Chains A and B, each alone.
Chain A
């Protein structure tokens, strides 16, 4: 019970920390809206040429764009999650303090990242999404059940996203300067999550591969649940499967890192 309270407090701290920067949040909302606007026109032109591309109609494609803008910073697909700070702590050696804490490293940062993600969803995601579906002809479910199913898929996406980024951050134990890895991670994340283009429109074998990778849990999976294109339970199994694999892998790498690593600093 006490441990649950601890991690809840860490999560609340993560939420409050990001909620402090109101101007930055407003700026983010503005930028997400502008990018959504550009993207939505390209999608409209594309679906005009090829209606029912990837199984979506035009209204569903519009919704997909705004789900993407709502989840971009929530899932830190383009970076900006707790991994930046975690890597900095590994680089400077502050990680030694974290390892001494009577709390689990992976769960501690998971809680902090979930707090951040929930704030980003509310603070940065809701407004661009609402703007987008009100201004453009979009497909939005009217029943509460679909929305609940969607939100649960988003929560699982948050955990998968963290699982990937925790591994990225741990690479700093070996590399110290993680700039290159972070850059690679967001490149792959953008491409494989469906952020630059819906995965179900990817042609042939490339499509098969990207849809099976963990990144498809991030944007494609929740979007398909919202659009009624995927069975929620099968989606949850897929997402939860990757979440478990990634978190277990993270734990193994963490054990390896803490055993062999020399802490930096004087």
Chain B
């Protein structure tokens, strides 16, 4: 019994290692291909940076008129913005091309991936790996840096540990959203735009303080689609603010756990979607 469990475990880690290896190989190939056109790479990265910076310009324009939004002054909003952008940016960099799955289903090129001796999820995730997406991560990191300089935070060891934990946990949560969205595209190939509401919409939502939104909406993104654990909940702890919805203090450290559960559920959705796939036959 124990023996079997161990063997299943070994097979699982074997598959995981294979997936990571596949992902790294395909991503490296796309990086090489990108670097063949360096000028184009620089331009698209700058474009990616500028496109995401536009969100922050909107916030700056708002703060040219007011001193606080929902009780949060600019540095605190910048803190939320930076955390949301970096977490989402990392997820987008890692597996952001997954929203192209619907197109692959439609034109039948997904079949090519199915016959290759490598995990399909890793292939789809690494497909068209876009290093230009570092633009978004960089922009978010700069805003986060500004916030950390401006904010007079009372640092404790716990808060210091929480910072990287929250960024990586947040990236994990967004990765789960990407995978679940791709799984949904097996069912509705033309509906790839729905995913944008949760990915780009999600990161935009988290850039603003939870205090400005209706409590039902905050409840929805805490208990149903737990995006609040990307930054709202842990950031409230770092800022020394009460946690949204009166959540208990320990939930500020729950991001990795939430991310793990989300990824597991997204994995189930992915497997279900892949199993239901019927080729177009053309």
Please give the distance in Å from B181's CB to the nearest CB on chain A: 11
Which residue of the partner chain, among A27, A35, A41, A180, contacts B213 with CB atoms under 8 Å? A41
B204 interface residue (CB < 8 Å to A): yes
Interface string of A64-98 (1 = CB under 8 A from B): 00000000000000000000000000000000000
**One of A108-116, A151-159, A184-192, A222-230 contacting the partner:** A184-192
Interface string of A159-201 (1 = CB under 8 A from B): 0000000000000000001011001100100110000110001
Contact B54 A191 (CB under 8 A): yes
What number of residue pairs across chains A and B have CB atoms under 8 A from each other? 93
B34 interface residue (CB < 8 Å to A): no
Q: CA separation between A187 and B48, bound complex, in Å? A: 10
Please give the distance in Å from B214's CB to the nearest CB on chain A: 7
A1 interface residue (CB < 8 Å to B): no
B154 interface residue (CB < 8 Å to A): no
Interface string of A11-49 (1 = CB under 8 A from B): 000000000010110111011001101100110111001
Contact A49 B66 (CB under 8 A): yes
Q: A46-B62, A50-B65, A190-B54 are in contact. Are A26 and B201 (CB under 8 A)?
A: no
B58 interface residue (CB < 8 Å to A): yes
Contact A179 B57 (CB under 8 A): no
Q: CA separation between A30 and B43, bound complex, in Å? A: 32
Contacts of A41 in B (CB 8 A): 208, 212-214, 217
Interface string of B42-74 (1 = CB under 8 A from A): 011001001100110110011011111110000
Q: CA separation between A80 and B205, bound complex, in Å? A: 24
Q: A35-B204, A38-B205, A183-B47 are in contact. Are A197 and B191 (CB under 8 A)?
A: no
Contact A27 B205 (CB under 8 A): no
Please give the distance in Å from A229's CB to the nearest CB on chain B: 18
B114 interface residue (CB < 8 Å to A): no
Contact B68 A30 (CB under 8 A): no
Q: A50-B65, A180-B44, A187-B51 are in contact. Are A23 and B197 (CB under 8 A)?
A: no
Could you list 7 examples of A-B contacts with CB < 8 Å?
A21-B190, A24-B191, A27-B194, A31-B196, A44-B212, A49-B67, A180-B43
Q: Report, nearest first, the 8 A-B pairs whose CB atoms are least far apart.
A: A45-B212, A34-B197, A27-B191, A23-B190, A27-B193, A24-B190, A49-B66, A31-B197
